[in-house]
Amino acid sequence: MKILVARMNHETNTFSPIATPLKSFGDNGPLYGTEAYVASKGTRTGIAAFIDILEAAGHEVVVACTATANPSGSVCAKAYTHLCDTIVAAAKGCDAVALDLHGAMVAENSDDGEGDLLERVRKALPNAPIAVALDLHGKMTDKIINNSDIVISFKTYPHVDMYETGEHAGRLLVDMINQRIKPTIAWRRLPLILNTLCSRTDIGPMHEAVKLARAAEAKGILGASVLAGFALADIAAPCISVVVVSNNDQAAAEATAQEIADYIWTNREGFIYKNEPLAASIARAKDLAAAPGSGPVLLLDHGDNCMSGGTCDDMNVLHEALKQGLEDIVVGPICDPEAVAQLIAAGLGVTVTLPIGDKVPLTQLDITNPPRLLTGVVSKITDGQYVVSGPTYTGQRIHMGRTVCLDTPQAKVMVTETPQEHWDLGIFSHIGIDAPKHRFILLKSRMYCRPVFVPIAKALVECDGGGVTGADYSRFPYKKLDRPVYPFDSQTTWK
């Protein structure tokens, strides 16, 4: 058979001030056709698994595009329409479809980015089997369910099973094509906005919910997924969902979906994060640093996390740390192209005083922090490139743009031209910073840093500096949210 394959990934924070034009989807925009195939093949992604599974089964793979952007604000209407048009056009003449999507895409012209795309694909290929691989932080809608035959999401956060999820969905698609299975879907969406910090799958109720999903699959269910949703999207229902795929057994699918959903609702308190005031977090970190043990204390500025749409230039956590007298801090990257240019112009070894960070107004939260001055010596300048050693995106070369280290009396401040996640210690070692040897490491990260940085640290403190990825959702001006919803409405009920 001729099978359409495509990747379209974006986790949309509708409160983020960062625009998402077409060029955001890749190093310089999406890749198409043969280029998309070559770039995807051999990677640890869902689309790579689709290619491997389908080619191994003897099918012809037609790759429409690969388009993935870091989390940011709503996708520009022209970009979204272009990507959907590209995928739908490539569907002509195909017999089946495998899509590597996110599940939390919101565009200027679509609150249900994946559902609206799938509706168009189904209209173009009304009889074709359609399999979808989704991120754990996807939301679920009627359009996604009604226009898909197979829906499978990640089961890990931090995410390390992107390929395995594509492999799972691809394997079921091949079985459906060969008439070995007849997929039937049941789903539940709960009126529960889950905090992203409570969606980690190694501990807590999310771990137990995913454990129930795995147990159902072990007993014969074709696929069971727990999708945390994405609370930083102002849409009707950015809520947690359960999706179950059975083999021609609607009753089994319904019962399994209900069992997992009942567990989630019963344990809903465990999905709500108890946010701590920033000053208290920094004071606690100071005490932990003075306690016995070796290694740095991690300060995770989850309120300005680029992998959820943060600007990476909010300086509240650093300045609170400086105010409370913390010393020997490594911090970065701070995204401030203007400061990078000024520091490079000043030159190595020169002492400078300049404003760093706080350059991007958080307009939807009505926050504008005036830039604050830092004084230090320009100690290093690099091209901002390093290669990830693992475990996430192993072997991928990271391009941060020009990067500068400013040595201040209390902190080594790494400033870059682009926002970055902390995939690897190379983010610091590439510029000559041996992060594990310092007293504090301040990262603009929520979860992806943990596999690398937690093992070298003696303690971790989560800090909310008040940016657009913060955990206090009462600060966010939702306008489209369906109410009642927990925890905003404590008397919310669900059956």
Please say whether the beta carbons of 245 and 221 come within 8 A. Answer: yes
Closest CA to 354 of 369, 339, 334, 340: 339
Token pair recorded at residue 433:
């910073």
Q: Are strands 459-463 and 31-32 parallel, antiparallel or unpaired?
A: unpaired
The string of pLDDT tens digits covering residues 428-477 is 999 999 999 999 999 999 998 999 999 999 999 999 999 999 999 999 99
Mean pLDDT of 356-370: 92
Beta-ladder partners of 374: 354
Token pair recorded at residue 330:
């490594």
Token pair recorded at residue 400:
């941060």
How far apart CA 476 and CA 232 sit, in angstroms, is 8
- 397 or 79: which carries more pLDDT confidence? 79
How far apart CA 400 and CA 368 sit, in angstroms, is 25
> Cα angle vertex 454, ends 13, 300, to 5°?
40
Mean pLDDT of 299-325: 96
Check whether domain 2-271 has CATH 3.40.50.10350, yes or no: yes
Report pLDDT for 369.
Answer: 87
Mean pLDDT of 148-172: 96
Percent of the chain predicted with pLDDT > 90: 95
Q: Where are the domains of the chain?
A: 2-271, 278-470
Report pLDDT for 317.
Answer: 97
Please say whether the beta carbons of 147 and 168 come within 8 A. Answer: no
What is the CA 255 to chain-centroid distance, rounded? Answer: 30
Mean pLDDT of the chain: 96
Residue 398 has pLDDT above 80, yes or no: yes
- Residue reference for tokens 């379209």: 8
Report pLDDT for 396.
Answer: 81
Starting from the edge strand earliest in sequence, which strands make up the sheet with 403-407, in order?
Answer: 351-356, 372-382, 403-407, 411-416, 329-335, 440-443, 297-301, 459-463
The string of pLDDT tens digits covering residues 100-138 is 999 999 999 999 999 999 999 999 999 999 999 999 999
